[in-house]
Amino acid sequence: PFLAPATRPWSTRRAAVPTPPGGARHARLMAWVRTIATLTEPDEVVWVDGSATQRQGLLDQMVRSGTLVALDPVLRPGSYLARSHPDDVARVEDRTFICSVDPQDAGPTNNWRDPSVMRAELEGVFAGSMRGRTMYVVPFSMGPLGGPISQIGVQVTDSPYVVVSMTTMTRAGTGVLDLLGTDGRFVPAVHSVGMPLVDADGDRRTDVPWPCHPTKYIAHFPESREIWSFGSGYGGNALLGKKCFALRIASVMARDEGWLAEHMLVLRVTSPEGRPFHVVAAFPSACGKTNLAMLQPTVPGWTVETIGDDIAWLRPGGPGTDGRLRAINPEAGFFGVAPGTGPATNPAAIATLTHDVIFTNVALTDDGDVWWEGLTDEPPAHLTDWRGESWTPGCGRPAAHPNSRFTVAAEQCPTIADSWDSPEGVPVDAILFGGRRATNVPLVLQARDWAHGVFLGATVASEQTAAAEGPVGVLRRDPFAMLPFCGYNMADHWAHWLRLGDTLSGRGVPLPAVFGVNWFRKGADGRYLWPGFGENSRVLVWALRQVEAAATGGSATGGSAALAVESPLGLLPAPGALDLGGLGLTEEDAAALFAIDPAAWVEECGQTEEFFARFGERLPTELAEQLAGLRDRLGAR
């Protein structure tokens, strides 16, 4: 139960909120910071200015306190290793709450909590939660400062690890306060690790390297655009600009304001003729988004550059533009999974990680460098594992946690596009949706039109693997790869996509082409049919040639040089139009990559119907029609 600050015995010290650099111009911001400081009772309040000096000071302080290990300055300059509490290693979906006034607005796929009940609960847990600690105030911009698609947030946190991570992952510091002026809009985000250093009797306790709390709250208030996060220091739970703001809260802002906040990578692809294309792609976790974002194409003459690897904000271009959908990467860094990242799978990521990286939960080598499964074929003879214990090959434990991460500035990536931080964003030519599907879904297909594309997005699923809970082979539905990230009713999200398409078409603005892709189809013998990684460029080339054909007036399916053929699922590459040569594929493999089994698809339509039924009347009729159309084409009606 909430204890009013005045009745708490330890509340004699109230932290003074210092004037931020540039002056206390924004009355609402100052009042909010004072309110949070009064509730959480830190020893001190510090404004994060974004300077290298302040950042280095925090890094040095964390080395002294044992939160960070400084890596060897020659092998890995400017880099550090953090080891988290063993129970604070991932997002906590069952403790992630959408606190909309109406439960229907959260929808059947989110954990809903009554906002007033949650507020009271949060006041209880945050009361005095920063005692003995410093409260940092981090003003940050998602997207280039002042850009037409960008948004501002302010996070308070008692974790220096979160501060330095936020200064890498977002544009943080005093420039954001200047932009906010006296009454600019910002999303307030409160974060505490939930382990005060002074107890109710006023006794101090010693800190631990990774403070956290067993009971976590990742709470979102979509109507008031607020975030409250308690008990965790892990990225997706604690770096509140990322999933909490840039996806859950931003998706609600986008719904209300006519734009999109999506779980998508952003690529710039240039053809041999020098024509640039921009592609966004949504994939669920563990489906290779970072690898595709940093893809090294194998198709001669084509180049691929990185713009973003996790989140895209898309907005119709304003006055003075052609009005097409434009995308930015709202982040400024990558928070990528380390295991499986190696010179063969993602050389650009390896080159990105040579300096100035914060690693979390990877293994430490005896000479002060890092290692994880997949970095090299053979592990070193001895390591310190992610828990800080001695490790030797064959000991039966992974050296790095499977969700161990790197945090690094986007501009360190050798394949980063010049336009990656363009404030206006880049025009979107193609949208890809994909999951991990051993069966049914072809390597690539194109949606017939926008509504069909929304249907492809709404029906994204990934097959359950043995590694996750639940029976193997069962489809986990992950519409738009947004299942854990949509801040409102998923069916309303589909309706919003349909509406946006209507709006743009109504203005005569061309819409991006939409494709479904699947790198993970397996043969009858259980082998992956497709080599993936750099060879995925072959699929991009086919898709973008389709985009080009449509733009030059050629029909996608017509004519003798047709690139595509009709199928019940959508447009497939015409024979020979997608180059499969030189990959060692047998003819059966090549056919199996695109095979459509009508009986299996009729079965899958039944599962889609069940899934759609969860949304009741909120399901847009267009999607029910798409499902009926698919059944018709399969001959199932």
| Binding site residues, Mn ion, CB under 5 A | 310
Shortest Å, Cβ 492 to Mn ion: 21
Parallel/antiparallel/unpaired status of strands 80-82 and 358-360: parallel
- Is 436 annotated as belonging to a binding site? yes
CB atoms within 10 A of CB 2: 14
| 311/375 with CB nearer ligand SAT | 311
CA distance 307 to 594: 30
**Interface mask toward ligand SAT for 90-109; x: CB under 6 A:** -x------------------
- Is 6 annotated as belonging to a binding site? no
Candidate residues 216, 242, 268, 521; the one interacting with ligand SAT per rule CB under 6 A: 242
Q: Is 143 in the site for ligand SAT (CB under 6 A)?
A: no
Structure tokens at 143: 């997207």
Shortest Å, Cβ 91 to ligand SAT: 4
**Total residues at the site for ligand SAT (CB under 6 A)?**
8
- Is 287 annotated as belonging to a binding site? yes
**Interface mask toward ligand SAT for 73-92; x: CB under 6 A:** ------------------x-
Convert 378-411 into a string of H (helix), E (strand) and C (coil).
CCCCCEECCCCCEECCCCCCCCCCCCCEEEEEHH
Shortest Å, Cβ 544 to ligand SAT: 26
| 122/482 with CB nearer ligand SAT | 482
Shortest Å, Cβ 395 to ligand SAT: 27
Candidate residues 270, 271, 285, 345; the one interacting with ligand SAT per rule CB under 6 A: 285
For ligand SAT, which residue has the nearest CB?
A: 236
| 92/602 with CB nearer ligand SAT | 92
CA distance 282 to 415: 20
> Closest Cα partner for 347 from 274, 415, 269, 405?
415
CA distance 260 to 258: 7
CA distances from 28 to 11, 135, 188 (A): 24, 18, 11
- Is 192 annotated as belonging to a binding site? no
Shortest Å, Cβ 400 to Mn ion: 19
Interacting span for ligand SAT (CB under 6 A) from 150-158, 196-204, 236-244, 411-419: 236-244
Structure tokens at 521: 């189809």
State the number of CA atoms in the 13 A half-sphere of 583 facing the CB. 22
* CA of residue 192 relative to chain centroid, distance: 22
Residue 26 interface partner, choices ligand SAT, Mn ion, none, CB cut-off 5-8 Å depending on type: none
Query: Distance between the two ends of the chain, CA-based, in angstroms?
Result: 58
**Which DSSP string corresponds to 233-286?**
-SHHHH-TIIIIIIIIIHHHHHHHHT-EEESEEEEEEE-TT--EEEEEEE--TT
Shortest Å, Cβ 71 to ligand SAT: 22
Cβ–Cβ under 8 Å, residues 416 and 113: no
SS3 state of residue 344 = coil
Q: Is 191 in the site for ligand SAT (CB under 6 A)?
A: no
Candidate residues 132, 153, 233, 236; the one interacting with ligand SAT per rule CB under 6 A: 236
CA distance 46 to 49: 9
Which of 212, 244, 287, 486 is labelled catalytic?
287
| 169/547 with CB nearer ligand SAT | 169
CA distance 376 to 289: 21
Interacting span for ligand SAT (CB under 6 A) from 20-28, 132-140, 234-242, 448-456: 234-242
Cβ–Cβ under 8 Å, residues 352 and 413: yes
| 39/349 with CB nearer ligand SAT | 349
- Is 236 annotated as belonging to a binding site? yes
Shortest Å, Cβ 204 to ligand SAT: 32
Q: Is 243 in the site for ligand SAT (CB under 6 A)?
A: yes
Residue 91 interface partner, choices Mn ion, ligand SAT, none, CB cut-off 5-8 Å depending on type: ligand SAT
Parallel/antiparallel/unpaired status of strands 68-70 and 570-573: unpaired
- Is 286 annotated as belonging to a binding site? yes
* CA of residue 169 relative to chain centroid, distance: 12
Residue 296 interface partner, choices ligand SAT, Mn ion, none, CB cut-off 5-8 Å depending on type: none
| 135/483 with CB nearer Mn ion | 483
CA distance 407 to 415: 17
Shortest Å, Cβ 274 to ligand SAT: 34
Structure tokens at 22: 């540039």
| 76/493 with CB nearer Mn ion | 493
Give, to the nearest 10 degrees, the angle between helix 250-257 and helix 490-506: 40
CA distance 517 to 431: 10
Shortest Å, Cβ 285 to ligand SAT: 5
Residue 631 interface partner, choices Mn ion, ligand SAT, none, CB cut-off 5-8 Å depending on type: none
Of residues 307-336, those binding ligand SAT (CB under 6 A):
310, 335
Structure tokens at 528: 């992956």
Cβ–Cβ under 8 Å, residues 564 and 557: yes
| 236/425 with CB nearer ligand SAT | 236
CA distance 517 to 492: 24
For Mn ion, which residue has the nearest CB?
A: 310
**Interface mask toward ligand SAT for 334-373; x: CB under 6 A:** -x--------------------------------------
CA distance 625 to 636: 14
Shortest Å, Cβ 310 to ligand SAT: 6
SS3 state of residue 474 = coil
Residue with tokens 């199996």, as numbered in its chain: 592
Q: Which amino acid is at 366?
A: D
Residue 501 interface partner, choices Mn ion, ligand SAT, none, CB cut-off 5-8 Å depending on type: none
| 58/486 with CB nearer Mn ion | 486
> Closest Cα partner for 88 from 223, 190, 208?
208
- Is 234 annotated as belonging to a binding site? yes
| 194/284 with CB nearer ligand SAT | 284
Of residues 385-404, those binding ligand SAT (CB under 6 A):
none
Candidate residues 235, 316, 512, 516; the one interacting with ligand SAT per rule CB under 6 A: 235
287 is catalytic: yes
State the number of CA atoms in the 13 A half-sphere of 565 facing the CB. 9
Residue with tokens 């079965």, as numbered in its chain: 603
Task: Summarize the annotated binding site for GTP as residue ranges.
Answer: 286-291, 405, 436, 533-536
Rule CB under 6 A: which residues touch ligand SAT?
A: 91, 235-236, 242-243, 285, 310, 335
Catalytic residues: 287
Task: Summarize the annotated binding site as residue ranges.
Answer: 91, 234-236, 243, 263, 285-291, 310, 403-405, 436, 533-536
